[in-house]
Amino acid sequence: MNKHRALGLAYIVAGLGVSAALIAILDALEGSNEWLNLLGKGAAMPGVLAMVGAVKLATGAPFSETNARWQAMAPWKQSLLGFLLIVLGFCLIGAVIATIIHFE
């Protein structure tokens, strides 16, 4: 495993760990209005960190090199991969929503 993939895995673990801690804190503060205050202060940042880690883990390269590879790709491939990434994102969002609905 190269250093970029190891760093990506560390980002994912850190992001998911902080997200789990925030969920536990928000669950503990559910009865008060403080959870709204906490949500507005960057509660999504650990998720962003985990997504950056996922990109690093998948590509195994720094972002500058990943960008150069993307720009060197044929435009039709960029369009196709971009569309597939959007579909994957919607599927992940749908899976999270379905899971939340199922467990309520």
Identify the CA nearest to 39 among candidates 61, 23, 52. 23
pTM confidence score: 0.66
DSSP 8-state class, residue 74 = -
Q: Residue 102 has what pLDDT? A: 79
Q: Say how far apart CA 88 and CA 60 lie, in whole Å.
A: 20
Enclosing domain of residue 94: 73-104
Number of domains in the chain: 2
- Per-residue pLDDT reduced to its tens digit, 50-67: 888 888 888 888 878 888
Q: Say how far apart CA 30 and CA 74 lie, in whole Å.
A: 50
The residue among 51 and 27 whose pLDDT is bigger is: 51
- Is there a single domain that holds both residue 18 and residue 65? yes
Q: Fill in the amino acid letter for 98.
A: A
- Is there a single domain that holds both residue 62 and residue 41? yes
- Is there a single domain that holds both residue 25 and residue 50? yes
